[in-house]
Amino acid sequence: MAMIPGKPFGILMFLAILISGCNSRADTKDPEIMYDMASKLKDISLGVQGHTKYSDTSEFNESDLLLKAVNNDLSKLEIFGEYKLRVRVDGKRSSVLLCDDDTALIEDTGCTPEVDLHHWNSDTSIQCDFIINLDKACY
């Protein structure tokens, strides 16, 4: 004979499922979207790296470098519309960081063949600060 849980048990089960569902990361991103964004970010980081390596970028701010990286084609930046894009230049090396408010999502140098860091896929939230050591990543 099958047992049918009583109301108190059913309510407890419902609450347990609800609490465990709320305990999962609320900021988890859709992998398909994030990998697409990473691919587009890689294109931008390559463009920034090209300008950094072969031009004098000392007079440029982050926005200038981003525009130069996409040849002033703002449509290439549209996918990042609700996010924050940051650029770091250190000598002839550079990196680009994609953030959601103050949370880092993706960080990439233009000197490596693959996207360097997928912060969004980490178990812990990373602040919107550059963490890649450009001396080690870009020889």
Global pTM value: 0.77
3-state helix, strand, coil in the chain (%, to 5): 45, 20, 35
Q: Residue 51 in contact with residue 65, Cβ under 8 Å?
A: yes
Q: What band does 37 get if pLDDT is binned at 50, 70 and 90?
A: very high
Report pLDDT for 67.
95
pLDDT of 50-106, one tens digit each? 999 999 988 899 999 999 999 999 999 999 999 999 999 999 999 999 999 999 999
Q: Where are the domains positioned within the chain? A: 30-137
Per DSSP, 119 falls in state G
Instruction: Kindly tell me the sign of the dihedral angle through the C-alpha atoms of 4, 7, 13, 14.
Output: positive
